[in-house]
């Protein structure tokens, strides 16, 4: 069974500081992994995805994530936080061997950026 755990429902960083949002997955096979961002009163927007190519994935807005099979992790990072990064971030996993729409989301991490 697929599942995703996001450690920390709220994360606060100062503007210009490193952003680190944690995601651990549970999967019996190498999964597809995604990070989505949700700004207030909006839908989700795809930040980046891992689909078994390079383990370091670069996304939009300066974010990147590294797939670590040994740690079953897919943490999201950004070297320098900007005020516009304040949003809720969701990690999601899909087992490529099961149905096309079995996409499981974590419970989300709300990022606050302090000026």
Partner 1 sequence: NAGVTQTPKFQVLKTGQSMTLQCAQDMNHEYMSWYRQDPGMGLRLIHYSVGAGITDQGEVPNGYNVSRSTTEDFPLRLLSAAPSQTSVYFCASTRDPAGGYTFGSGTRLTVV
Smallest Cα–Cα separation from 54: which of 63, 41, 43, 65?
65
Residue 110 interacts with partner 1 (CB under 8 A): yes or no: no
- Name residues contacting partner 1, limited to 52-91 (CB under 8 A): 90
CB of 13 to partner 1, least distance (A): 21
Q: Pick from 9, 26, 28, 97: which binds partner 1 (CB under 8 A)?
A: 9
Q: Pick from 63, 94, 111, 113: which binds partner 1 (CB under 8 A)?
A: 94
User: Coil, strand, or helix at residue 86?
Assistant: coil
User: Coil, strand, or helix at residue 115?
Assistant: coil
CA distances from 107 to 31, 80, 83, 92 (A): 18, 24, 23, 9
The residues of the shown chain that bind partner 1, judged by CB under 8 A, are 9, 32, 34, 36, 41-46, 49, 51, 90, 92, 94, 96, 99-108
């Amino acid at each position: 069974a697929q599942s995703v755990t996001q450690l920390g429902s709220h994360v606060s960083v100062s503007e210009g500081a490193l952003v680190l949002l944690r995601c651990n997955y549970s999967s019996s096979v190498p999964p597809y992994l995604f990070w989505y961002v949700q700004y207030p009163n909006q839908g989700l927007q795809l930040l980046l995805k891992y689909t078994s190519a390079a383990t370091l994935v670069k996304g939009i807005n300066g974010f990147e994530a590294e797939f670590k099979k040994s740690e079953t992790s897919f943490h999201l990072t950004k070297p320098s936080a900007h005020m516009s990064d304040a949003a809720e971030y969701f990690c999601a996993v899909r087992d490529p061997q099961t149905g096309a729409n079995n996409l499981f989301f974590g419970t989300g991490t709300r990022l606050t950026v302090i000026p």
